[in-house]
Amino acid sequence: MSTTLEMERSSTQPVVDYEETALTLGLPGVSRAGGWDQQERKRGFSETVHLLDGSSGIEPRGGEDLGDESPDCAASGADRRRASKERVVGWPPVRSHRKNALRGCTYVKVAVDGAPYLRKVDLETYSGYHHLLTALHEMFSCFTIRDRRLVDPVKGTDYVPTYEDKDGDWMLVGDVPWK
């Protein structure tokens, strides 16, 4: 899988949605014009979560090959990217009612193996994966969070957060940018 993605990346026309979903994420806000560095491919889940939350102070694993981006730059880069997308007030000209209605499909069911019932959460109310996991921890309070997994202290088994995407595939939580 990752080999295929690397081949895609080296072609001259990067496909936008691959960039969004690739395991080989760069820091949010990093200019993509400079191309990707082969070294900064895989990240651990925890680092990915931290990076996507835009929290500063986390060093990227590996070298400095992301175009000299420091974590602070990355955080402000994220701000810049967010700002540039939202800078134009009222554009595109879509009524708020429509924007809100379509954005409203953010409720998801959460099931934990062994828990007696499911819960529903509104993804909109969380600012990032870390926040979401904390909330899930509170909901399924019999578990604790350790290393970004929910751990059952009794059995010692840990639960990796996963989700089913629109194609019906089970995906690891945290790969796709929070937005």
Partner 1 sequence: MTYFPEEVVEHIFDFLATHRDRNTVSTVCKTWYRVERLSRRSVFVGNCYAVHPERVVARFPGLRSLTVKGKPHFADFNLVPHDWGGFALPWIEAAARGCPGLEELRMKRMVVSDESLELLARSFPNFKVLVLISCEGFSTDGLAAIATYCRVLRELDLQENEVEDRGPQWLSCFPDSCTSLVSLNFACLKGEVNAGSLERLVARCPNLRTLRLSRAVSVDTLSKILARAPHLVDLGTGSFTIDHRAEAYHKVMGNFIKCKSLRSLSGFWDAAPHCLPAVYPICGNLTGLNLSYAPAIQCADLIKLIRQCSKLQRLWILDCIGDKGLAVVANTCKELQELRVFPSDFYGGGIAAVTEEGLVAVSSGCPKLNSLLYFCNQMTNAALITVAKNCPHFTRFRLCILDPKKPDPVTNQPLDEGFGAIVQSCKDLRRLSLSGLLTDRVFLYIGMYAERLEMLSIAFAGDSDKGMVYVLNGCKNLRKLEIRDSPFGDAALLEDVGKYETMRSLWMSSCDVTLGGCKALAAKMPGLNVEVINEMDESDEMEENPCDLDKVEKMYVYRTVAGPRNDAPDFVWTL
Residue 92 Cβ vs partner 1, minimum distance, rounded to whole Å: 5
- Phi and psi at 137, nearest 5°, equal -60, -45
| Interacting residue with partner 1 among 3, 17, 141, 169 (CB under 8 A) | 17
Q: Is 1 in the site for partner 1 (CB under 8 A)?
A: no
Own/partner long-range contacts of 105-114 (Cβ < 8 Å, ≥24 apart):
108/163, 110/136, 110/139, 110/140, 112/140, 112/143, 112/150, 112/159, 113/159, 114/152
Shortest gap between Cβ of 13 and partner 1 (angstroms)?
12
Q: Is 168 in the site for partner 1 (CB under 8 A)?
A: no
What residues contact residue 76 under an 8 Å CB cut-off, 6+ apart? 29
The interface mask with partner 1, positions 103-132, x = CB under 8 A, is --x---------------------------
Candidate list 3, 4, 57, 98; residue touching partner 1; CB under 8 A:
98
Instruction: Considering only the stretches 46-54, 94-102, 125-133, 170-178, report the one whose residues sit in contact with partner 1 under the rule CB under 8 A.
Output: 94-102
Place of tokens 């529903």: 120
Whether the bond into 153 is cis, omega within 30 of 0: no
**CB of 125: closest distance to partner 1 in angstroms?**
16
Closest CA to 172 of 48, 40, 28, 51: 48
CB of 9 to partner 1, least distance (A): 17
Q: Which stretch binds partner 1 (CB under 8 A): 72-80, 97-105, 127-135, 149-157?
A: 97-105
- For partner 1, give the closer residue by CB, 63 or 93: 93
Candidates 166, 168, 169, 170; binder of partner 1 (CB under 8 A) is 166
Which residues are near partner 1 by CB under 8 A?
16-17, 85-86, 88-99, 101-102, 105, 166
